[in-house]
Amino acid sequence: MRIDVVSIFPEYLAALELSLIGKARQDGVLDVRVHDLRTFTTDRHRTVDDTPYGGGAGMVMKPEPWAQALDAVLADAPSPDRPTLVVPSPAGAVFDQAMAHDMASLDHLVFACGRYEGIDERAIEWARDGFDVRPVSLGDYVLNGGEVAVLAMVEAVGRLIPGVVGNPESLVEESHSDGLLEYPVYTKPSSWRGRDVPEVLLSGNHAKIAQWRRVEQFRRTADRRPDLLADVDATALTKADLAA
Ligand SMILES: COC(=O)COc1cccc(COC(=O)c2cn[nH]c2)c1
């Protein structure tokens, strides 16, 4: 997969050189390119923002540098297919694991990191000719810019790409993969500061362990994210499971 990120703080994305994503880049599994929006300005001060029409506090990102930057990305695109342009924004569709899987199936993802009060809307509309434009929110809160959201999304998407995570098995049983939160996990020692690992996990009885884990998933989801239960087939939980 090819990923392009455009930002006025390209050094913010240095974290993508670390750990699993960094290794995937070295192995050629991911091709991540970060671009400094100021490269695409033409004035002496490398201006990327100006005051908002209609008044109000803050500044707005000028459309022209964005059009120049996105044109440069298109000129160097890996395939003639329309890339997806993800614009992290408080006014976007909320990012979730389903969206991460959808993005992981794409050949070319481009991220536009907004700052200040946002990007001139005309640049977003202009981009619809060359890109599948998707405003995406991480949640109902406001960041100072899109870079932190891009780090989260590139990690969530990148880890789903074959060859990025060592053991693909570890992607199967995790929160949200089956609509439920994940069960609690334990490791040695079996007794720690007076707290013992649940007996069933030491039993070697794999059917009982699977049953216990399933119940814990439902219990946790009901406790922390009851909103998720609406979409889950609770009949999968038998009375025997609950009695266990
Ligand atoms: C058209 O879109 C834009 O102009 C985006 O502009 C901005 C402006 C300020 C901050 C951000 C970063 O995104 C978030 O704050 C965000 C994402 N998820 N939850 C909060 C983006």
What ranges do the domains of the chain cover?
A: 2-168, 178-243
Q: What is the whole-number distance in angstroms between the Cα of residue 58 and the centre of ligand 1?
A: 14
Q: Which CATH architecture does the domain made up of 2-168 adopt?
A: 3-Layer(aba) Sandwich (3.40)
CA distance 203 to 219: 21
CA distance 35 to 132: 19
CA distance 230 to 236: 13
Residue closest by Cα to atom 18 of ligand 1: 137
In a 3-state reduction of DSSP, which class is residue 199?
Answer: helix
Q: From the CA of 124, give the closest atom in ligand 1.
A: 1
Q: Taking the domain 178-243, which CATH number applies?
A: 1.10.1270.20
Q: What is the whole-number distance in angstroms between the Cα of residue 102 and the centre of ligand 1?
A: 21
Per-residue pLDDT tens listing for the chain (244 residues): 999 999 999 999 999 999 999 999 999 999 999 999 999 999 999 999 999 999 999 999 999 999 999 999 999 999 889 999 999 999 999 999 999 999 999 999 999 999 999 999 999 999 999 999 999 999 999 999 999 999 999 999 999 999 999 888 888 767 777 899 999 999 999 999 999 999 999 999 999 999 999 999 999 999 999 999 988 776 667 666 666 6
Q: What is the pTM of this model?
A: 0.93
Q: What is the whole-number distance in angstroms between the Cα of residue 75 and the centre of ligand 1?
A: 26
Q: From the CA of 87, give the closest atom in ligand 1.
A: 2
Residues 6 or more apart in contact with residue 48 via CB below 8 angstroms: 8, 37, 38, 41, 61, 62, 65
Q: From the CA of 138, give the closest atom in ligand 1.
A: 18
Neighbours of 40 (CB within 10 A): 19
Residue closest by Cα to atom 2 of ligand 1: 89
pLDDT of res. 91: 96
| Interface pTM, i.e. ipTM | 0.97
